[in-house]
């Protein structure tokens, strides 16, 4: 069986990035200081069983657009999350969207300018995206 393990994100300033990711709820699981690709710090959210983000610090500046489009994090309450982030000086980088069924999204940016989409699912939605989110594509192969 194959599954996505985590995403590795290059960061310019490890301490600044750790402070940011901790402020949005990630905790450090462990780190490996000396690897061929740099200092690795493994992170996970409290509700995750496994590491989902790996910060890679190699003392080189990160050029926006050369690493990842965006990371997506599920939140229980957009309003509560935005209030908590504001207390750490983290503000949305766009006005966000809200649908009639209760789906809410907005973007914040980490210290290297990487966009992180916050998603509040509508009531009754699964914890992640499933084929039910694309009913017109049912019957196609899972790949």
Specify whether the CB–CB gap between 17 and 110 falls below 8 A.
Answer: yes
83, part of any domain: yes
Domains contained in the chain, number: 1
Query: What percentage of the chain exceeds 70 in pLDDT?
Result: 87
Confidence band of 61 (pLDDT split at 50, 70, 90): confident
Q: Measured at the alpha carbon of residue 95, what is the angle toward residues 106 and 125, in degrees to the nearest 5?
A: 35
Spatial neighbors of 107 by CB under 8 A, at least 6 apart, are 70, 92, 93, 94, 96, 115, 116, 117, 118
Q: Strands 104-109 and 115-120, how do they pair?
A: antiparallel
pLDDT at 131: 74
Inform me whether the pLDDT recorded for 71 exceeds 60: yes
Q: Quick check: helix, strand or coil at residue 86?
A: helix
Percent of the chain exceeding pLDDT 90 equals 43
Q: What pLDDT score was predicted for residue 66? A: 59
Q: Is the pTM of this model over 0.75?
A: no
The C-alpha atoms of residue 104 and residue 125 are separated, in whole angstroms, by: 12
How do residues 72-104 score in pLDDT, each as one tens digit?
888 999 999 999 999 999 999 988 889 888 889
Q: Using CA atoms of 31, 47, 131, 5 in order, give the dihedral in degrees to the nearest 10.
A: 10
pLDDT recorded at residue 129:
73
Q: What CATH number does residue 92 fall under?
A: 3.10.180.10
For residue 71, being part of any structural domain is answered with yes
Q: Identify the domain containing residue 64 by its residue range.
A: 7-137
Identify whether the C-beta of residue 30 lies closer than 8 Å to the C-beta of residue 18: no
Is 143 contained in some domain?
A: no
């Amino acid at each position: 069986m194959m599954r996505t393990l985590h995403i590795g994100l290059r960061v310019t300033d490890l301490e600044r990035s750790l402070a940011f990711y901790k402020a949005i709820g990630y905790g450090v699981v462990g780190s490996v200081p000396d690897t061929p690709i740099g200092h690795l710090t493994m992170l996970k959210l409290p509700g995750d069983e496994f590491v989902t983000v790996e910060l890679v610090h190699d003392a080189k500046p990160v050029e926006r657009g050369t690493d990842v489009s965006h990371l997506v994090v599920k939140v229980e309450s957009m309003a509560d999350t935005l209030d908590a982030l504001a207390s750490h000086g983290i503000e949305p980088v766009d006005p966000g969207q809200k649908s009639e069924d209760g789906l809410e999204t907005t973007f914040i940016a980490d210290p290297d300018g990487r966009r992180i989409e916050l998603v509040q699912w509508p009531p009754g939605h699964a914890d992640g995206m499933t084929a039910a989110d694309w009913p017109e594509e049912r019957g196609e192969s899972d790949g």
